[in-house]
Amino acid sequence: MEINRLIEGTLALSREIFGSDFIPLHRPVFEGNERQYLINCIDSNFVSSVGVKVTEFEEKVAKFTGAKYAVATVNGTAALHVAIELAGVKPGDEIISQAVTFIATCNAISYAGAEPLFVDVDVDTMGLSPVALKRFLEENAEKRTSGTFNKTSGKKISACIPMHTFGFPCRIAEIAEICADWDIALIEDAAESLGSYVGSCHTGTFASMATLSFNGNKVITTGGGGMIITNDSELAKRAKYITTTAKVPHPYEFVHDQIGYNYRMPNLNAALGCAQMERLEEFLTIKTQLADQWDAFFSKRGADFVKAIEGNKANHWLNTIILDSREDRDKFLKITNDNDIMTRPIWTLMSKLPMFKDCQTDGLENSIWLEDRVVNIPSSIPDGALKKLSN
Ligand SMILES: *Cc1c(COP(=O)(O)O)cnc(C)c1O
């Protein structure tokens, strides 16, 4: 693959698809009932933490994902924080996760007083590797009656949080089996994978809890927002309770019986979410078409355009290529961004950040390999594409 020609072609195709202005990596689209629902919300006076749109939004996402329950939160990080607490993680515990993730995953682990352990990802999914997970546990952990413990640190490994990177599902069914064998709670960070499936099952439905994000750059947005989805009615009830200050229901008295959080999604944000959910299927259709277009372009040039593994379906949140080297990656990023076409490298590995640099890892061979090569390319819904689709 000749990098200069690949870059030139990417610039040209980006302009062809997205036009001559600055091209963002992923912009939100508000072409449905967003304005109307927001106005209704303001007119009703219910703009804050009480209102019918929150419940409606929760029901819509639950129905779409096939989860029985959904609890909306202020953002995805808050959803993760609460899910970690509800999974029974205690301060001083350890949680297995990926070094290939957005900082939110590790921040939430830290808020709960726990520490991450970084296990390698698979190169094809860029998500937690079940083979690496199994090996890590066999080499480093021991099962006792009270759970699984890290033989080196002596700490309890109480949870595992894999992440579906850029919307490509990881091998979550295999991971779930391993976690069950080792008696480790599983939480899916599905922040990036609304609309992604493993077989016919939506990502986020393989664990006792999963979390979503509706930040401005995600597949759908509520401005800022997140959600916990679960099939467990008790967990759903407790999630709602501690995200709404743990207030004991009463017509007028203020009684709270544990430390709770003010993590509930405001009605205004949920109103936006309801309108976005109405368009989600169309967003996904267009994003698939866009991914196919990029795929045809890169495949023809022998470049590695990432796709979901056999049997899975990606939401194509962020289109992703894997270049040959760090040098190629740097060149690609520099020239595209200099040309007002936004491209981004994958995150700096969590294990390299000052807060997490001393956390135990398994060597992270694939993670390091990917960090040197992965680039995200423009992935927005192109102007006019929604109108064209509905005509
Ligand atoms: C977006 C995201 C989150 C949640 O982020 P918020 O901005 O708090 O909604 C969590 N994990 C990953 C991997 C994400 O990409």
Q: What's 121's DSSP letter?
A: B
Average pLDDT on 197-212 reads 98
Distance from the alpha carbon of residue 213 to the mean position of ligand 1, in angstroms = 6
Cα separations in angstroms, 267 against 45, 60, 63, 124: 10, 14, 19, 39
Report CA dihedral (73, 79, 85, 91) to the nearest 10 degrees: -120
- Do 184 and 60 fall within a single domain? yes
pLDDT for 350: 98
157 beta partners: 94
- Euclidean distance between the first and the last CA atom of the chain, given in angstroms as a whole number: 39
Q: Report the CATH number that the domain containing residue 209 is assigned in CATH.
A: 3.40.640.10
Residue 102 Cα: closest atom of ligand 1 = 13
| Final residue of a structural domain among 246, 276, 306 | 276
Helices (H), the chain: 3-18, 34-44, 52-65, 76-86, 103-111, 130-140, 172-182, 233-243, 267-300, 326-338, 365-371, 385-390
Q: Which residues line ligand 1 (CB under 6 A)?
A: 75-77, 101-102, 104-105, 163, 189, 191-192, 213, 215, 226
* 272 plus 290 within the same structural domain: no
In this prediction, residue 390 carries a pLDDT of 85
Atom of ligand 1 nearest to the CA of 214: 9
Reference 72, options 330, 270, 360; nearest CA is: 270
Expressed in angstroms and rounded, the spacing between residue 128 Cα and the centre of ligand 1 is 17
Please indicate, yes or no, whether residues 254 and 135 belong to a single structural domain of this protein: yes
Mean pLDDT of 135-150: 97
**Same-domain pairing of 121 and 238:** yes
Examine the pLDDT at 152 and tell me if it is beyond 80.
yes
Pocket probe mutation, ligand 1, options 61, 74, 77, max atoms within 8 Å of Cβ: 77
Give the mutation target among 61, 109, 189 for probing the ligand 1 site: most ligand atoms within 8 A of CB: 189
Whole-Å CA distances, 66 to 63, 143, 231, 270? 5, 33, 9, 19
Say if residue 179 is in the same domain as residue 149: yes
Query: Are 55 and 10 contained in the same domain?
Result: no
Question: Could you give the angle at which helices 130-140 and 172-182 cross, rounded to 10 degrees?
Answer: 20
Hey, what are 69's tokens? 């329950």
Which of 155, 89, 96, 104 is closest to 129 using CA atoms?
96
Please give the number of the atom of ligand 1 that sits closest to the Cα of 189.
11
CATH number of domain containing 372: 3.90.1150.10
What's the gap in Å between 243 CA and the centre of ligand 1? 17
Structural domain that includes position 259 = 34-276
What integer pLDDT is reported at residue 177 of this predicted model? Answer: 98
Atom of ligand 1 nearest to the CA of 105: 11
What are the phi and psi torsion angles at 336 (to 5°)?
Answer: -65, -45
Q: How far is the CA of 252 from the centre of ligand 1 (A)?
A: 36
Instruction: Check whether residue 269 and residue 311 sit in a common domain.
Output: no
Q: Kindly report the average pLDDT of the chain as a whole number.
A: 97
pLDDT at 301 over 80: yes
Task: Calculate how far, in angstroms, residue 359's C-alpha sits from the geometric centre of ligand 1.
Answer: 21
Gap between the Cα atoms of 129 and 366, Å rounded: 10
CA–CA dist 77, 80 (Å, integer): 5
Answer yes or no: is pLDDT of 164 > 80: yes
Q: What confidence score (pLDDT) does residue 355 get?
A: 98
Percent over 70 (pLDDT), the chain: 100
Mind listing the pLDDT tens digit for each residue in 82-118?
999 999 999 999 999 999 999 999 999 999 999 999 9
Query: pLDDT per residue over 46-61, tens digit each?
Result: 888 778 999 999 999 9
Mean pLDDT value of segment 348-365 = 98
Same domain, 74 and 186: yes
Domain identity same for 253 and 367: no
The verdict on 11 and 141 lying in the same domain is: no
Indicate which residue's Cα is closest to atom 5 of ligand 1: 76
Q: How far is the CA of 326 from the centre of ligand 1 (A)?
A: 26
Domain boundary among 216, 251, 276: 276
List pLDDT tens digits, range 247-272. Answer: 999 999 999 999 999 999 999 999 99
Q: Confirm if 187 and 97 have CB atoms less than 8 A apart.
A: no
| Mean pLDDT score, 201-206 | 98
Instruction: Report how far residue 204's alpha carbon sits from residue 234's, in angstroms, rounded to the nearest whole number.
Output: 17
Other beta carbons within 10 Å of 36: 11
Give pLDDT, residue 1: 60
Residue that the structure tokens 């076409």 belong to: 341
User: Which ligand 1 atom lies nearest to the CA of residue 165?
Assistant: 13
Instruction: Give the whole-angstrom CA distance, residue 203 versus residue 65.
Output: 8
Mean pLDDT of 328-355: 98
Please count the helices (runs of H) and the strands (runs of E) in the chain.
12, 16
Domain count, the chain: 2
Residues 258 and 362 in one domain: no
Residues 43 and 18 grouped into a single domain: no
Domain ends where: 220, 248, 276?
276
Q: What contacts 33, CB < 8 A, 6 or more positions away?
A: 274, 275, 278
Residue 110, helix vs strand vs coil: helix
Average of pLDDT values for 269-293? 98
